[in-house]
Structure 1
Amino acid sequence: MDFLTIGGLLVAFCSVFLANWLGGGEVILLLNLPSAIIVIVGSMGATLMQSRVKDALDAAKLLKWSLFPPSYDLQKARLLVGTLSNKARRLSLVSLDADIAALGNSFATRALQMAIDGADPDMLYERLHDEAIRIRDKRQSSISFLESVGGYAPTLGIMGSVLGLIQAMANLDSPEALGHGIAVAFVSTLYGQGFANLVVFPIAKKLSNYCDQELLYNQLLIDGVHGIAIGKHPQRLDLELSGYE
Structure 2
Amino acid sequence: MDFVTLAGLLIAFSSVFLANWLGGGEVILLLNLPSAIIVILGSLGATLIQSSIQEAIRALVLLKWSLFPPIYDFNSSKAILNNLALKARRLSLLALESDVNAFGNHFSSRALQMAIDGTDPDLLEDRLHDDAIRIYDKRMKSVAFIESIGGYAPTLGIMGSVLGLIQAMANLDSPEALGQGIAVAFVSTLYGQGFANLVVFPIAKKLSGYVDRELLYHQFIIDGVCGIAVGKHPYRLELELNTYE
TM range (shorter): over 0.9
After superposition, residues 1-16 of structure 1 pair within 5 angstroms as 1-16=1-16
Q: In structure 1, what is the Cα distance between the partners aligned to 2:169 and 2:53? A: 40
- Structure 2 counterpart of 1:192: 192
Q: In structure 1, what is the Cα distance between the partners aligned to 2:118 and 2:154? A: 55
Provide the secondary structure at the position in 2 that maps to 1:143. Answer: helix
Q: In structure 2, what is the Cα distance between the partners aligned to 1:73 and 1:103? A: 10
Which residue type is aligned with residue 7 of structure 2?
G
Q: In structure 1, what is the Cα distance between the partners aligned to 2:100 and 2:57? A: 30
C-alpha deviation, 1:80, in angstroms = 1.1
Please say if residues 77 and 103 of structure 2, whose CA atoms lie closer than 8 Å, have aligned partners that are also in contact.
no
- Structure 2 counterpart of 1:52: 52
C-alpha deviation, 1:52, in angstroms = 0.6
Q: In structure 1, what is the Cα distance between the partners aligned to 2:115 and 2:166? A: 67
Please say if residues 153 and 192 of structure 2, whose CA atoms lie closer than 8 Å, have aligned partners that are also in contact.
yes
- Structure 1 counterpart of 2:142: 142
- Structure 2 counterpart of 1:17: 17
Question: For each residue in 1:211-235, what CA deviation from the matched residue of structure 2 results, as whole angstroms up to 9, or x when unmatched?
Answer: 0110011100000000000000000
Provide the secondary structure at the position in 1 that maps to 2:101. Answer: helix
- Structure 2 counterpart of 1:116: 116
Question: For each residue in 1:42-86, what CA deviation from the matched residue of structure 2 results, as whole angstroms up to 9, or x when unmatched?
Answer: 000000000011000000110111111110011111111111001
Q: In structure 1, what is the Cα distance between the partners aligned to 2:126 and 2:74? A: 21
Count how many residue pairs are aligned between Structure 1 and Structure 2. Answer: 245
Please say if residues 78 and 241 of structure 2, whose CA atoms lie closer than 8 Å, have aligned partners that are also in contact.
yes
Q: In structure 2, what is the Cα distance between the partners aligned to 1:99 and 1:213? A: 24
- Structure 2 counterpart of 1:74: 74
The answer to whether the aligner puts 1:152 opposite 2:152 as a matched pair is yes
Please say if residues 125 and 226 of structure 2, whose CA atoms lie closer than 8 Å, have aligned partners that are also in contact.
yes
Instruction: Give runs of ≥4 in structure 1 deviating > 4 Å.
Output: none
Q: In structure 1, what is the Cα distance between the partners aligned to 2:29 and 2:210? A: 37
What percent identity do the matched residue pairs reach? 74
Please say if residues 146 and 204 of structure 2, whose CA atoms lie closer than 8 Å, have aligned partners that are also in contact.
yes
The answer to whether the aligner puts 1:100 opposite 2:103 as a matched pair is no
Q: In structure 1, what is the Cα distance between the partners aligned to 2:103 and 2:194? A: 42
Q: In structure 2, what is the Cα distance between the partners aligned to 1:89 and 1:130? A: 27
- Structure 2 counterpart of 1:223: 223
Q: In structure 1, what is the Cα distance between the partners aligned to 2:5 and 2:101? A: 33
* Superposed CA RMSD: 0.6
Which residue type is aligned with residue 143 of structure 1?
V
Q: In structure 1, what is the Cα distance between the partners aligned to 2:107 and 2:114? A: 11
- Structure 2 counterpart of 1:237: 237
Superposition TM-score, scaled by structure 1 size: 0.99
Please say if residues 161 and 187 of structure 2, whose CA atoms lie closer than 8 Å, have aligned partners that are also in contact.
yes
Q: In structure 1, what is the Cα distance between the partners aligned to 2:101 and 2:70? A: 19
Gaps in structure 2 of 5+ consecutive residues:
none
Which residue type is aligned with residue 155 of structure 1?
T
Q: In structure 2, what is the Cα distance between the partners aligned to 1:204 and 1:97? A: 39
C-alpha deviation, 1:163, in angstroms = 0.4
Superposition TM-score, scaled by structure 2 size: 0.99
C-alpha deviation, 1:101, in angstroms = 2.6
C-alpha deviation, 1:105, in angstroms = 1.1
